[in-house]
Amino acid sequence: MSKNYVDEIIEKLGQKYENQPEFLQATTEVLDSLRPVIEKNEAVYKKDAVLERLVEPDRQIIFRVPWIDRNGDAHVNTGYRVQFNNAIGPYKGGLRLHPSVNISIIKFLGFEQIFKNSLTGLPIGGAKGGSDFDPKGKTDREIMSFCKNFMLELYKYIGADTDVPAGDIGTGAREIGYMFGAYKRISRLHEGVLTGKGLEYGGSLARTEATGYGLLYLTEEMLKCNGIDIAGKTVAVSGSGNVATYAIEKAQQLGAKVVTCSDSNGWVYDPEGIDLAALKEIKEKNRQRLTEYKKYRPDSEYHEGRGVWSVKVDIALPCATQNELRLEDAEMLVANGCIAVAEGANMPTTADAVKYLQDHDILLAPAKAANAGGVATSALEMSQNSERLNWTFEEVDSKLKNIMINIFHNMDDAAKKYGMEKNYVAGANIAGFEKVLNAMMAQGVC
């Protein structure tokens, strides 16, 4: 018997990109979920090479970024922008600045972004970019030098109706500001070419909070639909950046107690609940390490290394980076009675950990759905830029909440429709894919 179409593509990808493990991890999970959709009309999709076109980016731009340090010495990093798929709208996705960045990571993120953006219900395609530049410990001037030089090349490929980058790990309001300044100067256009902009020059209220808040809106809805109230629950959060901070804020507002957070050096356990004001001062204002936290909360514990998933909690919210929640962590969470995991970071759970959690009936909200609030609010920023108006915080926040509730129900319905009730991983992949598939089929082979 000849191999089915999905297996054929998974095998080809494995051969062609054996040195891109994160990209293979992301594509294998998605393609595996899409089997029931593809099988319905396999011959037609195969004839049109739908899956080949889905897994190969429209284009991958890789460029040199020189910058000058505080001593006047020049350095060079590699810049990336992978424009993956624009079937349903302009390319959209963040820029990651972290020394671990490589083409595999940018491709996995860009691929995931296609389905995430589709799930938002808004007209945005998938892309991702960034650089192996390390912003940690750099002065503002060094960051500025990098960002201006990064945009000196990137500007050629982006635009308000072409490709709209935004923040991600290592790229926050400061970096977006420097990049926007460079774009404006080069192009002479004051347009919505980036999202996550400052409020004074086209940014949207609630974009800073959106990913973390959205994560909690979706988690609350998922729990509610499974007969569970989030109020009173104990929560472990990893990370202490943009997503983690506002996940903690909203979890606390909803009456849950968050007892952990982390950075790449270590983690904090605060049994009385994380002091959010202290965390914001340490991370957002002072850009310091989490070792500082104990100065604000003497009764808390700081541990070097990994460990947030060893604490007994009801809910786990990984909000740092890919593959940070591994099989041994999943085993500890289950053993400690955890009921739900919702992914704030992109692909934070390894494939074997996903399987273990699902096999043990843990409610698992995948990143594509759970962290889509950030990019959804970016799309709302684009709308505001287009109409040259600013909406109130309440208006944006209530739209965000509706979007997250809709995403939950769309993935829940898709899982049920294909006989995989409560498999939200499959549900999100299918629901995100169906719209992109229909658009690709309607637009012909291109």
Give the residue numbers marked as catalytic. Answer: 128
Query: Should residue 204 be labelled a site residue for ligand 2IT when binding is judged by CB under 6 A?
Result: no
Query: Should residue 321 be labelled a site residue for ligand NDP when binding is judged by CB under 6 A?
Result: yes
Q: Is the CB of residue 14 less than 8 Å from the CB of residue 97?
A: no
Residue 195 interacts with, from ligand NDP, ligand 2IT, none (CB under 5-8 Å by kind): ligand 2IT
Angle at 183 between CA 181 and CA 186, to 5 degrees: 110
Residue 338 interacts with, from ligand 2IT, ligand NDP, none (CB under 5-8 Å by kind): none
Query: Should residue 243 be labelled a site residue for ligand NDP when binding is judged by CB under 6 A?
Result: yes
Can you tell me which of 50, 375, 430, 440 binds ligand 2IT, judged by CB under 6 A?
375
Can you tell me which of 79, 170, 427, 432 binds ligand NDP, judged by CB under 6 A?
170
- For residue 115, give the DSSP letter: H
Q: Which is nearer to ligand NDP, 235 or 440 (CB)?
A: 235
Q: By three-state DSSP, how is residue 314 classified?
A: coil
Q: Is the CB of residue 5 less than 8 Å from the CB of residue 50?
A: no
Query: Should residue 167 be labelled a site residue for ligand NDP when binding is judged by CB under 6 A?
Result: yes
Residue 223 interacts with, from ligand 2IT, ligand NDP, none (CB under 5-8 Å by kind): none
Residue 79 interacts with, from ligand 2IT, ligand NDP, none (CB under 5-8 Å by kind): none
Query: Should residue 349 be labelled a site residue for ligand NDP when binding is judged by CB under 6 A?
Result: no
CB of 328 to ligand NDP, least distance (A): 16
Strands 301-304 and 266-269: antiparallel
CB of 242 to ligand NDP, least distance (A): 4
Bridge-partner residues for 64, per DSSP? 78
Query: Should residue 374 be labelled a site residue for ligand NDP when binding is judged by CB under 6 A?
Result: yes
Query: How many residues line the site for ligand 2IT (CB under 6 A)?
Result: 11
Q: Is the CB of residue 345 less than 8 Å from the CB of residue 262?
A: no
50-58, 143-151, 236-244, 292-300 -> range binding ligand NDP (CB under 6 A): 236-244
> Look-up: residue for tokens 């690709």?
440
Question: What angle do the packed helices 21-33 and 103-119 form, to 10 degrees?
Answer: 30
Task: Give Cα separations from 165 to 26, 92, 297, 375, 402 (angstroms).
Answer: 21, 6, 37, 10, 24
Say if residue 137 is exposed, middle or buried (CB neighbours under 10 Å; 0-12, 13-18, 19+): exposed
Nearest to 283 by CA among 139, 147, 172, 176: 172
Can you tell me which of 235, 319, 333, 428 binds ligand NDP, judged by CB under 6 A?
319
Can you tell me which of 79, 93, 135, 203 binds ligand 2IT, judged by CB under 6 A?
93
Nearest to 148 by CA among 163, 127, 133: 133
Cα(312)–Cα(31) distance, rounded to whole angstroms?
Answer: 34
Cα(250)–Cα(371) distance, rounded to whole angstroms?
Answer: 14
Cα(184)–Cα(159) distance, rounded to whole angstroms?
Answer: 11
87-95, 305-313, 320-328, 392-400 -> range binding ligand 2IT (CB under 6 A): 87-95
CB of 344 to ligand 2IT, least distance (A): 10
Interacting residues with ligand 2IT (CB under 6 A): 92-94, 116, 166, 168, 195, 346, 374-375, 378
Interacting residues with ligand NDP (CB under 6 A): 98, 100, 167-170, 211, 239-244, 263-265, 319-321, 344-346, 371, 374
